[in-house]
Each structure stands twice: as C-alpha cells, then as structure tokens.
Amino acid sequence: MQPLLHMIILLLWRTSRAAASSSDQLAPIAKPNCESHCGDVSIPYPFGIGPSSNCYLYDWFEIECDNSTSPPKPFLRLAKLEVLDISIDGMLRVNNPVTFLYGGRGIRKVLLNLTGSPFVYSKYNRLTAVSCGIFLAVMSDETLVGGCMSTCDKDHSRRENYGCIGINCCQTTLPSNLSVITIELQPESEMGMRMQTRRGTRMDDYNYAFIVDQEWFENNSDVKDKGSVPVVLEWSLSLDNMNNIDECKGPINRCEIDNLGVTNTCENYVGGHRCYSIETGLGLILGLLLLLIYVYKRIHKRKKIKRKEMFFKRNGGLLLEQQLSSNKGNVERIKLFKSKELERSTHNFKINRILGHGGQGTVYKGMLADGRLVAIKKSKIVDEGKLSEFINEVVILSQINHRNVVKILGCCLETEVPILVYEFIPNGTLAEYIQGQVEEVPLTWEMRLRIATEIAGALSYLHGAASFPIFHRDIKSTNILLDEKYRAKVADFGTSRSVSIDQTHLTTLVNGTFGYLDPEYFHSNRFTDKSDVYSFGVVLVELLTGRKPAVCAVTSSEEDEYRSLAAHFIISMQEDRLFDIVEARILKEGSKTGINEFANLAGRCLNVNGRNRPTMREVTTELEAIQKSETTYNGAQPNYERV
C-alpha cells in the first residue's frame, strides 16, 4: 500500500505544479517542516535533508548538508556525491571525480555503480578520454556500448581551439538508462605506443578520463586541474524503486488502528520502518490514483509533442519543408519519418542492431512497416549554426540518382539529433574484403577492377554530372559498400559539400580520415575535386596491395620505419619494387601490363600537386580501358605477359 501512497503524493505534487504554471517558474517544494535549501541548492521532495527520515522518501534520496563550507554543500548520503542542482522533471547534476590514469599498458575503471538506486547515467553525458594513441571502450555489464579513438599531436592547444575532435582527446555518447559503466583505456596498438614516443607525446603526460555533462564541457574544455566535473543523472519514482524497500520490520502492533478509525500504516525503508496515518477508504484512493495517472499521462503526452516540435524546428525541419516545396520535382524522393516508426524498426535502437560507428554517428539496421530493410544513421549532436548546411545536404543527396551511390530515403528531425534513413546494403564494406575478413568471398582481380571502375564513375558523376558539383570529402574503403551482387555503392555523405558550378574549392577546417587526406588540403585547408581524387588513389593502392591505408612498418637493416601506405607505394614505384608489394592473388590473376597501368594511374592520383592529378572522368576512362584489356588477357590472348 505504501508505494501506492507515495506515487499518489508525487503525482498530486507534479500535477498541481503543472496546472499552476505552464511556464514552470514555481520553485521546487520540500515536505512541510523540512529544510528546503542547502546553501544555494533547492531540495525538493522526494529528496530531503536528514536526520529526520520523514523529509525524504527513502535512503537513496537522503541529502547531507555540509555546513563547514561557505556556502554549504549538499551531498547524496549513500552515493557520496556533491549535488549541484535538482530538477523535479527527473534530472540531477552532481560533481563526479575525474579519473587520472597512469601506466599506458591498458587500464580498466568501474564508475560508481547505481544498480538498485533510483538513479541512472543520463544520455546527455559524454564519456571523454584525454590522451593519444588510445582506444576508449565503454561497457555496461560487460557489453560494449560505445567507444572512440584519438591520435597524437604534441601541439596540445589543438583541443582548446577545436574541441575534442579525436586529436589528443576523444568522446563517445552513452545510451539511455545505464546504471553500470566500465571504461577501458587501451593503446590503439604497440605501433600506437611507438608513435607516441616518436611524436613527443606519451600517455602518462596527460592521461585521464571522465564522464561529463556535455553542455558544461563545451564551455569548460580544460579539466586537467579539476578534481571533479558535473555529471547528469536521471532519477525516477517507479514502483520498482519502491519494491526495493525491505518488508516491514518490528512487531506488528507497532502500527495500529486508533479509535478515530484512522489506520497507522507501516512503511518500510532500509534499516527500519515508520508509520503513516491514512484514511481507510481504499476505493477512494484507487479512484484518485486512476484520475491522477490519466492527468499525468495527458500532461506527459503534451510535453512529448511540444518536445518533438521543438526538436523539429531546431533541427531545421521548417527549412527542409521550404526547400522541398521549392523543388517540387523531388518532393516524393525523400520522406520525413516519425520517430516512433524508426524506434519500432530498430527495436528502440538496440545494440544488436548496430551495423557500425562512424565519425558522423552510429548506423543501425532497421525494417520498415512495409518490410523494407534500411540503414538508419543516428547523427551526433549537430551544431545549430550548421543546420542550414545539413538541410541543404539532405536536399542535394535526395536529388542524386546513380546506381553506385547509396540512396537516401528520408530523415527524422523530431528527435534530439537528426536521423537519416538510407537503403540497406547487405554485404558490408570494401575494406572487409580487401583485408581478407570475408574469407568465403575472395576479392578477385576482375572484381577489384570492376569495383574501382564503379567507384570512379560515381565520383565522376558527383563532380560533374549532378545538379551541382558535390565533393565527397571522405572517400575510403570503409565508406564503399557492396550490394547483393557485390557492386560498389559510395556511402556516408556526412561531411560532403555541394558547390556552385563555377566554384573550384572549399576553404574549411581539415576534416577527413588519416591515411586518405590530401596533403595539399592538409596544409592549405583548401578542398578541391582533386582532393577526392587523392583519396580514391589510396583506395586503388589498397585494392592493389591488400594493405591498410594508415601507418605501415617498413623493415630496414637498422630499425622499423613508419610510413603511410601512399608514401610506401610511391617509394616502391620509384625504386622499381612495385611487384614486391602487390598482393599475391593479383600476381597470379593479372597481367604485368594491366597491373603496371593500374599502379601508374594510382600514382598519378597520389601526386602531391593537385593540378597534376587526373580528373575523375579521366580516371574512369582509363579504368574502363584497363578492365577491358584484362578481360581480353584472361581470354588467353597472346599479347600480354603474365607476371
């Protein structure tokens, strides 16, 4: 009975507040005869300041007020965390210690376990690691729920200038309703540790991790000298919380019916019990409860609708509708999905539906009501100042119609972050096949030539045949998907930009993937269509060598030397050692002439001077010619020499 009474009390209180003021300007309310503040922090019921247990609901809500400081500071007694503010809407901000980690060989840290409490870690937090050459893994009950990687740069001011962007620092989002969080900080590899030493940075120099309120962190990025940072917890008063209270302790006659017909009902709590006086009208209580539940649901539903409307406007929904209405020929090509439809299609974005993580967000596999399989990308937090660019890209991508470009089906803007819906491509990424992770389908020389030609054709279309030229800006083998017939599909346009027909370049902060970045763009911040050509050249080298694009080790007589795959390829070409790095399968299946022509084309794409690189149209033409000649070679014509 007592949990029911507490629910009635809370619902009455919330309902009276909602009815009294639609602007929610009333101050939080403490229980009668209980302290309402500790220092500058308001303490609303069900929280309360001890020692009287009548002032709080049960022990997890007990607040200790430390009067030895000025002003006094409130603490959650059981969690031993300083409280910064309490919201009756279910939010609580606390100070959480920063975890300083040392050693560099892999560290595991378990954050405060909230299991059994009314609190969970909020999705508005971010798990942040300040270090370099590391992989941060985030787990809950030994299940991986997030992660990020950071690279090294001894210029530490970079994070202060541009935020936590993966250089000396990385961040990852958290799912909702986590009670247990374990973080593991690992060097990305033994190679990563060597890179730290070679670049003048070590994990021990500034190696710490913390969970932090994202909004606070955006304005307070330097936390190295802080012992703790704000963290958002969410709290609730569910019946599950109530049922955690032990059975009533003490003699049964401790709570009796007095001669006025009032029942003194026993309430359980950790370590004891207490009595409450209530009227004995059960029917009246149940009727009132049902009425309050109905009112509460109506208010909650109205708040959800307003929240969706707010997100829709903030995410540029009105601008998108305006853009679509001005492009009437394309209105039917893109759909504005409802959040409920996408939640159902992914089982509320369950972890087992994740297809992959990218720099722009997480991709989930979903099934729409009509049975279509789709890929649903839940974007990261979008800078409101760039929303017009985001909407423009959605409209531009809706106009792309090419067989080797992944189609965008629609988007959802009524959620906290934009959600994009694409056609589902079933056979994974090109990188998985190049690196031999899919053993049952070997990547033949014929397939590699066809896939390279398809990618080149798609990029040529984007650069010159689309309504407006589009620079992809993140061409790499992990962004090339393979469909059911192993045809190439260029994907992930999260960083793409459209330009006017007479515009030759974009001036932006450097954005892309190491190993694929155009060195000219890296130094000048000027991205051109030839920057996409350079990245495509790296993909050609991957197809030719079967090696990863980042840093590779080159063994010399004295010590290991580290180079990018592109640099290693160019030097091998200059030293006439091409066939030492070509994958063995290609040496068996391809002709010497065809392999040389393919390699020379890749070398021209990787020219350090962008002006000397071919256009994607020229690349496509040359690949088509190589593909045709190699088909003739495999048909046993005598004009080609086998390697």
Judging by beta carbons within 10 Å of its beta carbon (0-12, 13-18, 19+), is residue 287 exposed, middle or buried? exposed
525: left (phi over 0), alpha (psi -120 to 50) or beta: left
Least Cα distance to 416 among 124, 138, 171, 147 occurs for 124
Rg of the chain over all Cα atoms, to the nearest angstrom: 30
- Is 153 designated active site? no
51 cis-preceded (ω within 30 degrees of 0): yes
Give the alpha-carbon dihedral of 130, 136, 140, 146, to 10 degrees: 100
Question: Which runs of consecutive H residues, i.e. helices, occur in 370-493?
Answer: 387-398, 430-434, 445-460
Separation between Cα atoms, residue 432 and residue 438, nearest integer Å:
6
Query: Do 181 and 211 touch, CB atoms closer than 8 A?
Result: yes
Maximum separation of any 2 CA atoms in the chain, in Å: 113
**DSSP symbols for 237-252:** --HHHHHTSPPPPS-G
Q: How far is CA 235 from CA 94, 177, 244, 256, 602, in A?
A: 12, 10, 15, 34, 57
Catalytic member of 474, 492, 518, 532? 474
Residue carrying the six token digits 């080609």: 640
The one-character DSSP state at 118 is: S
- Rounded to a whole number, what is the distance in angstroms from the first to the last CA of the chain? 84
3-state secondary structure of 184: strand
Least Cα distance to 475 among 520, 530, 436, 417 occurs for 530
Element (H, E) at 309: helix 282-314
The strand pairing partners of 151, in sequence order, are: 167
Which backbone phi and psi does 558 adopt, to 5 degrees? -100, -50
Q: Which residues are catalytic?
A: 474
